[in-house]
Structure 1
Amino acid sequence: FLPLMKIDGRFWLTKEGQSFLGAGRIELLERIDKTGSINAAAKEMKMSYKAAWERINGMNALADQPLIDRLTGGRGGGGTKLTPYARELIATFQRFNELHRQFIDRFAEAGHDPERLARILSRTFLTTSARNQLPATLLSIEEQGLNGLLTLSLTGSHTIQSIITLKSIRNMGLTIGCDLYAIIKSSDVTIVTVPPKSDEAMNALKGTIVRVESQDETDEITFALDLFTELIALMNHKDTAQLSEGMNAYTLISPKHIIIGL
């Protein structure tokens, strides 16, 4: 048992069985793009010019097109710039690396419990139009006529409740302790500044407004419940006049608007 064990992983792109692009090589290309010089980029990364040039040669040997153009003469006395192909490779790598990090973060939900990791790996990866897809654990099921009231524990310290039919609960095979997703449309999330009055029929969670982006009559609000969980809310501009970035606030979500996914 290793209480400090953490799941992690490095992302590399290979070609023809050889290492092609990794975080260090991408950083080198980005610094060349910024400085216009292989030598300056190498100094910023505390490596020798020879080592930097060997990395570039290794990438060029595997690439379908050249990655750099050498410039001579002119007012600046020459230099080096990236080709459009190199910039496309950087953008592609960064997108893949972002998805890889999200994949690793999903693994991290398991902590040091390999059985929970096995359950997470057995989930179907969801593709839905809902902006909010929150990993959760089912804590309890309370029967209410034809429906069931589910209490869910989110990653972090928050709990929320969802109402779905008992038939759906049986069809999905939901049991206490199972891992699932709470799926919430951004238009079903409301942000307010004043704590709501006690209302058992509404999820009310305290957090912080991270970002407010306006477009036409609609505001997109990024709301952090904690370090682990963020929600996206779409609200009419006239309802967000008192909201600003960095403000403590509350998110309101009806249990009837929380869909369950596996």
Structure 2
Amino acid sequence: MKIDGRFWLTKNDKSFLGAGRIELLEKIAQTGSINAAAKEMKMSYKAAWERINSMNELADHPIINRTIGGKGGGGTTLTEYAYELINTYKRLNELHRQFINRFSEAGDNPEHLAQILNRHFLTTSARNQILSTITQITINQIHAIISMQIAGGGTLTSSITAKSAENMHLSVGNEVYGIIKSSDISLTTQKPQEDENTNIVEGTIESILSNKTHSEVSLKINEKYALVALLPNEEAKLIQEGQKAYALINYSKIIIGS
């Protein structure tokens, strides 16, 4: 046995798009006719029209244009909205297939599947989980240096083992999370000198929340993200809200998640 599943999109609790309906739309686009499309799919015109009508009733915009008679004898074409639906469905269906394939290794073993699910839906206590896109991977003997573009602007670099990069199938263009513990971030208001093993991320102090011993400091780095650092109070007293500051993060302190 193996894990499998069909992909459907529903709307208002009704079936909206599935593989068969997408194929029907594509056949209409190819033939210019609902009747011809139905024949190619070995279904009746009535069954094909019922599917088209059902989609039309649920869609936000019409999905077909019909012409009757005239010089060309009439026919049916898809609207731009219909083409958008086809492309959206295909992309989501491909992601669904990838999702199923990643779990197929479990076979008929429920416990193995539970382990895989826990691995892929891992949650972490780390305060900083920054969505980024890999721009470069440099293998340096046993280490892999991962350069990333942060969603919303900015860059991060992580150093992980080359084996980890291989096991995660990392490649340029992959979206990943840079995961950083708040205690692994230090802050300074003076622009530091470049260091080949340290990320220097510029931002603005957004908030400071303190208890008796430590302060949680939020550094806004772009419109989407703020880095949260946990500092001893004696260090936090040296900064103020609204002040420009720099986060210092060693490459080895950034875990890659995908």
Give TM-score scaled by structure 2 length: 0.54
Contact 2:218 / 2:228 at 8 angstroms: preserved in 1? yes
Matched, 1:138 2:139: no
Distance 1:115 1:236, change over 3 A: farther
In structure 2, the residue matched to 1:163 is 159
The code of the aligned residue for 1:244 comes to Q
- Report the CA distance between 1:157 and its aligned residue: 1.8
Contact 1:202 / 1:254 at 8 angstroms: preserved in 2? yes
Structure 2: distance between partners of 1:179 and 1:117: 19
User: Aligned pair count?
Assistant: 151
Structure 1: distance between partners of 2:217 and 2:249: 14
Structure 1: distance between partners of 2:92 and 2:222: 22
What is the 5 A alignment of 1:151-230?
151-230=147-226
Matched, 1:232 2:228: yes
The code of the aligned residue for 2:199 comes to N
Structure 2: distance between partners of 1:119 and 1:255: 31
Structure 2: distance between partners of 1:118 and 1:234: 41
Root-mean-square deviation over aligned CA pairs: 2.6
The code of the aligned residue for 1:180 comes to V
**CA deviation digits over 1:193-251, x for unaligned, max 9?**
00111212110011000000110110000111011111110011111221111111111
In structure 1, the residue matched to 2:250 is 254
- Partner-residue secondary structure (3-state), 2:165: helix
From the CA coordinates, give the structure whose radius of gyration is larger: 2
Structure 2: distance between partners of 1:233 and 1:207: 12
- Report the CA distance between 1:116 and its aligned residue: 9.8
Deviates more, 1:233-242 or 1:114-123: 114-123
Structure 1 unaligned residues grouped into runs of 5+: 1-16, 18-111
The code of the aligned residue for 1:200 comes to E
Structure 2 unaligned residues grouped into runs of 5+: 1-12, 14-87, 103-119
Distance 1:156 1:198, change over 3 A: same
Contact 1:119 / 1:179 at 8 angstroms: preserved in 2? no
The code of the aligned residue for 1:247 comes to Q
The code of the aligned residue for 2:195 comes to D
